[in-house]
Structure 1
Amino acid sequence: METVKVGITETIRVLLEEKKFNTLRDILVTLKPYDIATIFEELQDEKTPLLFRILPKELAAETFVEMDDETQKLLIHGFSDTELKEVVDELFIDDVVDLVEEMPANVVKRILKQADKDTRKTVNELLKYPEDSAGSIMTTEYIVLRPEMTAEQSIKRIRRTGVDKETIYICYVTDDNSKLIGITSVKDLLLSDDDVIVSEIMEENVICVNTLDDQEKVAQMFSNYNFLALPVVDTENRLVGIVTIDDAIDVLQEEATEDIEKMAAVMPSDKPYMKTSVFGIYKKRIPWLLVLMLSATFTSAIISHFESALASVIVLSSFIPMITGTGGNAGSQASVSVIRALSLGEIKFCNAVKVLWKEFRVSILCGVTLAAANFIKLMIFDLNGKENALFIGLVVSLTLIGTIIMAKLIGSFLPMVAHKIGVDPAVMASPLITTICDALSLLIYFGIATTILHI
């Protein structure tokens, strides 16, 4: 598939250089907006605005939405005011808001200048909602019906106003005060008799969200209920917008990317990897690396404190990497599982005791299994014929059991605490958990060693 796209891009590049615009148009109209946007992103030259002008108006707007920020910015700089107005007029209101949020101030000024008065007012209202809230991702373009309307009247309204709406399949029923009282679908309206009124066929038990609800929670509801759109109401239950499935998918992708970056100790970025500069990547990574490096000094301090013990039984030092590595891995397993369960709403802080009890039992099974396997390996290969081999093997094996229990309990508990106090649980993932477990596993190791070996 990638080979095909590369071939099309090169073909379009050649046709553009040869100024065969009719042929270019014939090719482009057969492609999907996303594929055309990908071609524009690969071209990225001064002729891109010329290629964009070839597209039919509606296809051009749909393609523009699919482009990345840099390509959009390049096109806008190449647009005349008239061309910019045509693009803005074709965009849905939530796409205009996204565009305004991502563009620099001088570009935003041009965009808003070319938008009509109503669009500017709506954009400014949507921009007032907190970032990452339902209000910030909703659109105000939807079908509104009244409960006293007949099915025939409703269909006529959809035909008359639906062309400018982002979705028409789901229709929202409000009273005279714009309060949401029900929903119905085009299917229900089409299959009903013409004289049936909307209040008789609408669903009154409406699942909706508030404008200030977190966008990740909103996006998750699409997965839970298989929605195509979700109504958004204010504090007085007045319908103010809807969130559509395409925006929900974007949110889920953004949140998943953000969580992955946090779990890898990288500050979240809003730019694709290939479009982020070396210095930009450096700024995202260095803060966590500094924090983790400084926190790792506790590990060094613990080893220094037990330096005399290590000197008396030098072989103990050779097992430190294995013990700390196993503890970090065990903690990461638990933390990732719990973080995922928290994000899906499968567990809450009130389930902490049950989660810890489950992880404790898992850690016992894992710890005993690894300790047994390790003890056999030590006796046959590593400590065969050495002084105090049995006791050293016992120290290492018991440490493994204690380390795994500790790591899994910490790895499962810290994300739940973070979630409870309003911190992203992903922060409590692999690197941080590993650093904590390294220090504690060494304390367990030397504690058991000094007790059994009397050093």
Structure 2
Amino acid sequence: MKEELIEILELIKNKKFTEVRGKIINFNSVHIAELIENLELAEAILVFRMLPKDLAVDVFNYLNNDFQEKIISSINDKEIKYMIEQLYFDDMIDLLEEMPANIVKKILKHSNVEQRKLINQFLNYPEYSAGSLMTIEYVDLKKNMTIKEALEHIKEYGVNKQTIYTCYVIDEKRKLEGIVSLRKLILSDYNLKVEEIMKKDIAYVNTYQDQEEVAAVFKKYDLIAVPVVDKERRLTGIITVDDIVDVIDQENTEDFQKMAAMAPSEEKYLDTGVWTLAKNRLMWLVILMISATFTGNIIKRFEDVLQSVVILTAFIPMLMDTGGNAGSQSATLVIRSIALGEIKGKDVFKVIWKELRVSVIVGFSLAFLNYLRIRLVEKVPYNVSLAVCITLFFTVVLAKIVGAILPMIAKKLKLDPAIMASPLITTVVDATSLIIYFSVARVLLNI
């Protein structure tokens, strides 16, 4: 791509526009979009206008929001009208959601009354719901059609639809009755009725279902498209796999950000301003900084223990770090399993039992190895070594159970389990491990 970009830039510089067009029209739409985004605005618009109309629409879909806005601002009304007519409905909705008001007004000017009504309906669905993701670009069939009539219907109405591989069977009131694949239609007797070959036991989602739940349906049933219905089970649209891939990517990014104690952001890292990045991180850092004062207060409370046996201080970082790491391991596995639907709320005791057994094995192994290290290598007295290793064992057990339980509590409270990730777990485990440490030390060292 770098060599091609240099070559295209050189051709533009020398005003060899015919050669530029001849080269880029053979590129993949994604690669053309990447190339355009690497050009200066004036050159980008020039290259975009060189593209054949149909190719220009495909390329437009792959441009980032900033470039889409600049392109719409720069092209004329006739070009905008063609673009809007050719865009799939769900792509147009995505575009309208991201554009500023003046651009939206410019786009809507070229839509008819029926389109505007549909657009307003889609824009009124809650953000991140199935309704906000769906498209109306699908083929529906009546169940009393013959196979021959159904195929003729697909030929007539399926030309500009987003998918025709799966057709949706409805009754007179548009209630979803079943689905039928194009393959099955082609291979069936032309005189049969659609209802005789359709599949009735189907997966579907409601317009108000959260996009994360929709993604789970796609994964569970290995779908390339899922029908979306309203409260009366009337077919209102479909969601295709390309849209749900974007959702999965977005949800994973959001979880990673929450697990790192940051406010989620949908913007790309390099496109996000410094002040925005700082704001997204600052709130959680302040919360965690304040919560860390509990740890300081615990150390102050047991100051007499530390003054009596100063060497105990040397092992505090190791205990706290090990506890935090152990809790993060459990939390990461549980959060991921919840996201994939492998763990339900009813499985809480199974999870606790499993993590308890794992933590006993891990805690004992770490405590034993640590005892050998500090007793034989560092020559620490046996009672101090014992106090450190007993604390280490209980810290690991506690951390792993806390790391497993907190995400499940969050899910039960309808919160995102990712907010219960490593920073919060580390704070909880640090405080409790110090209490255990100093309490054990008092007993074993007779302080």
Which TM bucket (shorter chain)? over 0.9
Deviation for aligned residue 1:26: 2.1
- Tell me, yes or no, if structure 1 residue 190 matches structure 2 residue 190: no
What residue number does 1:394 align with?
A: 386
From 220, 245, 250, the counterpart of 1:249: 245
| Separation in 1, partners of 2:53, 2:143 | 36
What residue number does 1:403 align with?
A: 395
Q: What is the total number of aligned residue pairs between the two structures?
A: 447
Deviation for aligned residue 1:90: 1.0
| Separation in 1, partners of 2:357, 2:7 | 61
After superposition, the C-alpha distances for 1:185-221 in whole angstroms (9 at most, x for unaligned) are 1111111122222111111112111111111111122
Deviation for aligned residue 1:96: 0.8
Deviation for aligned residue 1:118: 2.4
Mean CA deviation greater in 86-95 or 13-22: 13-22
Letter in 1 for 2:264: P
From 393, 396, 409, the counterpart of 1:417: 409
- Tell me, yes or no, if structure 1 residue 165 matches structure 2 residue 161: yes
What residue number does 1:337 align with?
A: 333
From 125, 142, 147, the counterpart of 1:146: 142
From 10, 15, 34, the counterpart of 1:14: 10
After superposition, the C-alpha distances for 1:320-355 in whole angstroms (9 at most, x for unaligned) are 000000000000000000000100111112111110
- Tell me, yes or no, if structure 1 residue 216 matches structure 2 residue 220: no
After superposition, the C-alpha distances for 1:209-235 in whole angstroms (9 at most, x for unaligned) are 111111111112212211110000000
Alignment of structure 1 residues 207-356 onto 2, 5 Å: 207-356=203-352
Deviation for aligned residue 1:44: 4.1
Deviation for aligned residue 1:392: 0.3
Deviation for aligned residue 1:447: 1.1
After superposition, the C-alpha distances for 1:131-151 in whole angstroms (9 at most, x for unaligned) are 111111000110011111111
- Tell me, yes or no, if structure 1 residue 123 matches structure 2 residue 124: no
Deviation for aligned residue 1:112: 1.3
What residue number does 1:103 align with?
A: 99
- Tell me, yes or no, if structure 1 residue 444 matches structure 2 residue 436: yes
What residue number does 2:130 align with?
A: 134
From 373, 383, 388, the counterpart of 1:377: 373
| Separation in 2, partners of 1:27, 1:161 | 34
Q: Is the 8 A contact 1:93 1:119 kept in 2?
A: no
Mean CA deviation greater in 26-35 or 412-421: 26-35
Deviation for aligned residue 1:47: 2.2
Deviation for aligned residue 1:29: 2.0
SS of alignment partner, residue 109 of structure 2? helix
Normalized against structure 2, the TM-score is what?
Answer: 0.98
Deviation for aligned residue 1:117: 2.5
| Separation in 2, partners of 1:27, 1:437 | 60
Q: Is the 8 A contact 1:147 1:198 kept in 2?
A: yes
| Separation in 2, partners of 1:114, 1:363 | 63
| Separation in 1, partners of 2:189, 2:179 | 18
Normalized against structure 1, the TM-score is what?
Answer: 0.96
| Separation in 1, partners of 2:17, 2:147 | 47
After superposition, the C-alpha distances for 1:134-173 in whole angstroms (9 at most, x for unaligned) are 1110001100111111111111111111122111110001
| Separation in 2, partners of 1:190, 1:20 | 49
Q: Is the 8 A contact 1:61 1:90 kept in 2?
A: yes
**For the structure 1 residues 17 and 117, does the alpha-carbon distance in structure 2 shift closer, same or farther, using more than 3 Å as the test?**
farther
Mean CA deviation greater in 271-280 or 37-46: 37-46
Q: Is the 8 A contact 1:173 1:181 kept in 2?
A: yes
Deviation for aligned residue 1:376: 0.1
Q: Is the 8 A contact 1:378 1:393 kept in 2?
A: yes
SS of alignment partner, residue 240 of structure 1? strand
Q: Is the 8 A contact 1:141 1:166 kept in 2?
A: yes
Note the aligned Cα RMSD (angstroms): 1.1
Q: Is the 8 A contact 1:375 1:394 kept in 2?
A: yes
After superposition, the C-alpha distances for 1:386-411 in whole angstroms (9 at most, x for unaligned) are 5xx00000000000011011101110
What residue number does 1:67 align with?
A: 63
SS of alignment partner, residue 43 of structure 1? coil
Letter in 2 for 1:218: V
| Separation in 2, partners of 1:302, 1:177 | 67
| Separation in 1, partners of 2:374, 2:327 | 24
Letter in 2 for 1:266: M
| Separation in 2, partners of 1:106, 1:423 | 36
SS of alignment partner, residue 242 of structure 1? strand
| Separation in 1, partners of 2:308, 2:189 | 92
Deviation for aligned residue 1:428: 0.5
Unpaired segments ≥5 residues, structure 2: none
| Separation in 1, partners of 2:113, 2:28 | 32
| Separation in 2, partners of 1:219, 1:325 | 36
- Tell me, yes or no, if structure 1 residue 176 matches structure 2 residue 172: yes
Q: Is the 8 A contact 1:134 1:218 kept in 2?
A: yes
Q: Is the 8 A contact 2:203 2:217 kept in 1?
A: no
